[in-house]
A and B are shown apart, each in its own frame.
Chain A
Amino acid sequence: MTHTRFESIGAYLPSTVVTTRELVAQMSYQPPFDLEQITGIAERRVHDKRPDSLEDSFVLARRAAQDCLSRSRYAAADLDVVISASITRYHGDRVFQFEPSFAHQLARSLGATRAIHFDVSNACAGMLTGVAVLDRMIRAGVVRNGLVVSGEQITAIAETAVKEISELYDPQFGSLTVGDSGAAVILDESTSEADRIHYVELMTCSEYSHLCIGKPSDRNQGIALYTDNHQMHKEDRSRLWSRFQTDFLAKRGTTFAEEGYDYVVHHQVGSKFIRNVNNHGEKAFGTPMPESLSVVEKYGNTSSTSHFVVLHDHLRSGRARPGAKYLLVPAASGVVTGCVSATISSLEV
């Protein structure tokens, strides 16, 4: 049976830092609470907006892919498939592109001339969706390797939120938590248990697909995200992950505790969200949670790239123990949840 692994990962974070205090100061409506305190987000990175050095979604993705390729055994021309997973598809100043696919243009720009290419779009589960697709394609023998990449100029929704939020329960409050980034990962066949993706299992509970909608604003120029936070983060939504993973592991004849994860990486919505999900997991699985990795304090919610921005940051920190087992848990509009488990030994960043 074929297994896959993370062969190389890359990331790109814009150099411009905007603090939560600076962001809130731009708002005409001043919230009666401390946004930094309730989200745990002190600052985020924001793309370069200067025309000569514009960092749109495409540029952010390409830089992350180049970073990933710089440490890979593969050159771009060796790639069998390129999968782009951006929610924000800005290619040019405020130009939101639908076709040709981002993946096509990224592949061409990188020199991946013979790669199959297509985009996936699955909100903040985009990169993990790309990983799920690529994992299946490698295991089925359709391809031998591939790149999943995403560039997110997601602070476009924060720009709209700053202009439009006018009350305490505004559905755009969540838009103030986002940060720009790019991330990329190459998968290929695993020949050693020391570097192996054990499973990628994702699920969409469509009953709640209407709770978080991103589309152009009808009040200002630009794109906006409207989230029913109260419904989105109800207790039942948390139970979807734990029930799904419990059932999945039971089918494999194992339990959460027996899996022996060293680290858990949740979607980076905010530090309180991450704490709540871990508390829920602890109760639901009846076992302490593994160490929870987070970059939300300094990068905010980077949407589809979040798990790989965390992983990249952790590996770069030098604290990663070779042979550690990671659990990645998505939480995305749709509603998408699931579990991705991988042992990582030889990923250098």
Chain B
Amino acid sequence: MPTAITSTAVSTDPHLSGSIARASAAATACLNRAGVHPDQVDVLINVGVYRDENMAEPAMSALIQKNVGTNLDYLRSGSPAFSFDLMNGACGLLNAVQVAGAFLAGDAEYALVVSGDTHPSGRPDPDFGYAHVGAAMLLSRSADAGTGFGPVSTVTAPDDAPGVRGYADLGAVGTHGREMIWVRRDPDYARRLVELAAAEASRYAAEQGLDLSRTLLVASQPTPSFAAELAQRLGVPADAVVTVHGVDGDPHTSALTLAYHQAVEAGQADAYPEALFVAAGAGLSVACSVYHRAG
């Protein structure tokens, strides 16, 4: 059976500091909305890239899992859960949908995909560009074969210019490695990204037989105008494009969950039986998947 969205939630609370806290808040809200107990989560996947203090270990997912309260100690809970980080820039959410679907095809009942990016210092930095936001999407097997995610397609640009690089130069920061991060974008990054995303989304839509004039577009937001430009190239009407609000930059790994959540909350998604998720980012990489909202 297809993989379906059971619930979504986001955290833009300015009083929370760091990606772990925001992803955890979103995850807890997401489970509450679904009426699912934390110990019912079988797999927790964190797709956030930029982490508190540039932490390398353990997986951020484990620290988020602890805050959520899922299988704190198997000797006491008796219900195992497995968590890990899956990192692929802005495309991570759709890779996680694919991976979660593989676990749900086995014996997992619920997979929780969380995200959150932060400047490692925990403080806003205008050069960083990524929004301080957390998001969560609870996935399960659809009871209806006509509802859920379709296949995930991925493509990368044929050249070696990744478009954007995010890194901590530990040879240059002295004792400030926990506080500094570099994000370097090529000047033509946004233009190339929208071209690659449009080409792949168009190919995917044709392959899936999607009518783009009747499809909600849920896209990455690397620039404020990216989703609108992508829609224009795809022939998606302006009112079928989700433009996220209430964030202080590119929501990055949370963009798709955030956009879908806001579209559903605002009732914007109601008119569309299908949503086309289009993720685009470093690589250059693009991932697409259709979401059938009703069977």
Chain A residues with a Cβ under 8 A of chain B? 87-89, 91, 93-101, 103-105, 108, 113, 116-123, 125, 129, 132-133, 136-137, 139-140, 142, 201-210, 212-223, 225, 236, 239-240, 243-244, 247, 332-336, 338
Q: From residue B125, how far is it (CB to closest CB) to chain A in Å?
A: 15
Asked whether, in the complex, the Cβ of A99 is within 8 Å of the Cβ of B87, the reply is yes
Q: Roughly how many angstroms separate A87 CA and B111 CA in the complex, as a whole number?
A: 23
Across the interface, A88 reaches (CB within 8 A) one of B55, B56, B78, namely B56
Interface string of B36-71 (1 = CB under 8 A from A): 000000001000011001111111111101100011
Asked whether, in the complex, the Cβ of B89 is within 8 Å of the Cβ of A123, the reply is no
Across the interface, B178 reaches (CB within 8 A) one of A123, A204, A208, A218, namely A218
Q: Determine whether B273 belongs to the interface, using a CB cutoff of 8 Å to chain A.
A: no
Asked whether, in the complex, the Cβ of A333 is within 8 Å of the Cβ of B62, the reply is yes
Asked whether, in the complex, the Cβ of A97 is within 8 Å of the Cβ of B166, the reply is yes
Q: From residue B153, how far is it (CB to closest CB) to chain A in Å?
A: 9
Q: From residue A240, how far is it (CB to closest CB) to chain B in Å?
A: 6
Q: Roughly how many angstroms separate A334 CA and B83 CA in the complex, as a whole number?
A: 9
What B residues does A116 contact at CB under 8 A? 95, 98, 154
What A residues does B74 contact at CB under 8 A? 203, 205, 240, 243-244
Q: Determine whether B86 belongs to the interface, using a CB cutoff of 8 Å to chain A.
A: yes
What A residues does B60 contact at CB under 8 A? 121
What A residues does B168 contact at CB under 8 A? 95-96, 98, 216
Asked whether, in the complex, the Cβ of B62 is within 8 Å of the Cβ of A204, the reply is yes
Q: Roughly how many angstroms separate A215 CA and B120 CA in the complex, as a whole number?
A: 11
A-B contacts, 27 listed (Cβ < 8 Å): A89-B56, A94-B171, A98-B87, A99-B87, A99-B282, A100-B283, A117-B156, A118-B92, A118-B95, A119-B85, A120-B84, A121-B60, A121-B85, A121-B87, A136-B106, A206-B65, A209-B62, A212-B58, A213-B55, A214-B55, A216-B54, A216-B178, A219-B175, A221-B175, A240-B73, A334-B58, A336-B58
Chain B residues with a Cβ under 8 A of chain A? 44, 49-50, 53-63, 65-66, 70-75, 78, 80-89, 91-92, 95, 98-99, 101-103, 105-106, 154, 156, 158, 160, 162-178, 181, 281-283, 285
What B residues does A218 contact at CB under 8 A? 175-178
Asked whether, in the complex, the Cβ of B154 is within 8 Å of the Cβ of A206, the reply is no
Q: From residue B247, how far is it (CB to closest CB) to chain A in Å?
A: 19
Q: Roughly how many angstroms separate A87 CA and B84 CA in the complex, as a whole number?
A: 12
Asked whether, in the complex, the Cβ of A334 is within 8 Å of the Cβ of B56, the reply is no
What B residues does A105 contact at CB under 8 A? 162
Query: Nearest B residue to A227 by beta-carbon distance?
Result: B57
Asked whether, in the complex, the Cβ of B170 is within 8 Å of the Cβ of A118, the reply is no
Q: Roughly how many angstroms separate A137 CA and B100 CA in the complex, as a whole number?
A: 9
What 4 A-B pairs come out closest when comparing CB atoms? A216-B177, A214-B57, A94-B171, A333-B58
Asked whether, in the complex, the Cβ of A101 is within 8 Å of the Cβ of B89, the reply is yes
What B residues does A244 contact at CB under 8 A? 74, 80
Asked whether, in the complex, the Cβ of A98 is within 8 Å of the Cβ of B99, the reply is no
Q: Roughly how many angstroms separate A343 CA and B101 CA in the complex, as a whole number?
A: 27
Asked whether, in the complex, the Cβ of A139 is within 8 Å of the Cβ of B62, the reply is no
Q: Roughly how many angstroms separate A129 CA and B62 CA in the complex, as a whole number?
A: 13
Q: From residue B94, how far is it (CB to closest CB) to chain A in Å?
A: 10
Query: Nearest B residue to A91 by beta-carbon distance?
Result: B167
Across the interface, B164 reaches (CB within 8 A) one of A96, A100, A121, A240, namely A100
Query: Nearest B residue to A226 by beta-carbon distance?
Result: B57
With A116-B154, A137-B99 as contacts: A209 and B88 at CB distance below 8 Å: no
Asked whether, in the complex, the Cβ of B98 is within 8 Å of the Cβ of A207, the reply is no
Q: Roughly how many angstroms separate A118 CA and B279 CA in the complex, as a whole number?
A: 14
Asked whether, in the complex, the Cβ of A133 is within 8 Å of the Cβ of B102, the reply is yes
Asked whether, in the complex, the Cβ of A213 is within 8 Å of the Cβ of B57, the reply is yes
Q: Roughly how many angstroms separate A293 CA and B200 CA in the complex, as a whole number?
A: 48
What A residues does B173 contact at CB under 8 A? 216, 221
Query: Nearest B residue to A121 by beta-carbon distance?
Result: B85
Q: From residue B76, how far is it (CB to closest CB) to chain A in Å?
A: 8
Q: From residue B66, how far is it (CB to closest CB) to chain A in Å?
A: 4
Q: Roughly how many angstroms separate A118 CA and B98 CA in the complex, as a whole number?
A: 11
Query: Nearest A residue to B64 by beta-carbon distance?
Result: A206
Asked whether, in the complex, the Cβ of B58 is within 8 Å of the Cβ of A223, the reply is no
Asked whether, in the complex, the Cβ of A94 is within 8 Å of the Cβ of B81, the reply is no
Query: Nearest A residue to B181 by beta-carbon distance?
Result: A98
Query: Nearest B residue to A104 by beta-carbon distance?
Result: B283
Asked whether, in the complex, the Cβ of A217 is within 8 Å of the Cβ of B177, the reply is yes
Asked whether, in the complex, the Cβ of B58 is within 8 Å of the Cβ of A118, the reply is no
What A residues does B78 contact at CB under 8 A? 247
Q: Roughly how many angstroms separate A87 CA and B59 CA in the complex, as a whole number?
A: 9
